[in-house]
Chain A
Amino acid sequence: MSGEPIKVVPMHVRLEYTVTAGCTYSRYLLALAKKQIIGGRCPRCTKVYVPPRGSCPTCGVPTGEEFPISHEATVTTFCIVNIPFGAMPFPPPYVVAALLLDGADLPILHLVRGVSPDQVRMGLRVRAVWVSDAELAPTVESIRWFEPNGEPDADYSTYEAHL
């Protein structure tokens, strides 16, 4: 409309990239396609990282020895997502937890299902639930989520140093 002031202008930005996972993270993703979770041990501080790291954040050297990690884990801290947003995996409420896999020194973040969100607690013992063999691929989505594995809750002392 002629004469009307202009207040805003829509501005769409779209940029396309080809990103690389890098050597180390690629090994982790390729292992997930084979239903394996890989950890890497820092040769200096001996901490086990999942996934292995191009640089140990405390020592500044790449993790060295790599080996399969248990699929069983302890819920350390967690949150219940209630607010809807664009790329949600499920309708809320759902749980995202920091999961300390047995044998690892730092937790990974993943979903916890198979239990009502208000029943999720620190110390809950869970196990990875994988997609079907046909759906396995080099992606963190090869693990669908983690579910309670029926074990008694882990004692706080087993994970307090990993929070």
Chain B
Amino acid sequence: MNEVLSSGYVLEYTYTRSVGQVIGRFLAGLRDGRITGVRTATGRVLVPPTEYDPETGDACDEFVDVGTSGVVKTWAWVTESRPRCPLQRPFAWALVQLDGADTAMLHAVDAGSIENMRTGMRVRVRWAAERSGRIEDIACFEPEAGQP
């Protein structure tokens, strides 16, 4: 068996993606310190918004602002963060259902330790210092003060 050669290789793409009306509205809201979802024909509020109702396929164009606090529906604890993650220390991923929304959005929770995480706990947005209209405008979520 001869020597088998290997080599490092980097695949890099610099895409600029168009966002459309619905995602664009949500991202503009983030930049402006607001969280905006869409209401479906059946009255469900989807956050983050999609252009369509995932249950019926109908187009969604009714925008609704929701709260910047909400409830952790489920979570996972990361002890070793990875590059480009929202936090470079142990943190939780969580699905957070914001007040007024019927779906949950995924983001990081800076809870400090696994003992501080609980399904059902309330968390609130921690905004990034500089925002430009990206999901990272939400730096992460943090526990709401005053919880047991």
Interface of A toward B, CB cutoff 8 Å: 2-23, 25-27, 29-30, 138
Is A29 a contact of B133 with CB atoms below 8 Å? no
Given known pairs A2-B31, A5-B24, the reply for A16 and B19 (CB within 8 Å) is: no
CA distance A6 to B24 in the complex (A): 5
Size bracket, chain B contacts: 20 to 34
Q: Is B145 an interface residue (CB 8 A)?
A: no
Q: Is B4 an interface residue (CB 8 A)?
A: yes
CA distance A121 to B24 in the complex (A): 54
Q: Is B18 an interface residue (CB 8 A)?
A: yes
Is B7 a contact of A19 with CB atoms below 8 Å? yes
| Whole-angstrom distance between the Cβ of A141 and the nearest chain B Cβ | 13
* Of B1, B6, B15, the contact of A12 (CB 8 Å cutoff): B15
Is B2 a contact of A18 with CB atoms below 8 Å? no
Is B9 a contact of A138 with CB atoms below 8 Å? no
Question: Which residues does chain A contribute within 8 Å of B129, judged by CB atoms?
Answer: none
Question: Which residues does chain A contribute within 8 Å of B76, judged by CB atoms?
Answer: none
Given known pairs A9-B27, A14-B12, A15-B11, the reply for A21 and B6 (CB within 8 Å) is: yes
Interface of B toward A, CB cutoff 8 Å: 1-19, 24-25, 27-28, 31-32, 133-134
Is A12 a contact of B14 with CB atoms below 8 Å? yes
CA distance A88 to B11 in the complex (A): 17
CA distance A13 to B84 in the complex (A): 12
Question: Which residues does chain B contribute within 8 Å of A7, judged by CB atoms?
Answer: 18-19, 24
CA distance A6 to B134 in the complex (A): 9
Known contacts A10-B16, A13-B11, A26-B5; can you find 10 more A-B pairs with CB under 8 A? A6-B24, A8-B18, A9-B17, A9-B19, A9-B133, A13-B12, A15-B10, A16-B8, A17-B8, A21-B6
Chain A residue nearest to B8 in the complex (CB): A18
Question: Which residues does chain A contribute within 8 Å of B19, judged by CB atoms?
Answer: 6-9
Question: Which residues does chain A contribute within 8 Å of B31, judged by CB atoms?
Answer: 2, 6
Can you list 24 residue pairs at the A/B interface with Cβ under 8 Å?
A3-B32, A6-B27, A7-B18, A8-B16, A9-B17, A9-B19, A9-B133, A10-B14, A11-B15, A11-B17, A12-B13, A12-B15, A13-B14, A14-B11, A14-B12, A18-B8, A21-B4, A21-B6, A23-B2, A26-B2, A26-B3, A27-B2, A29-B5, A30-B2
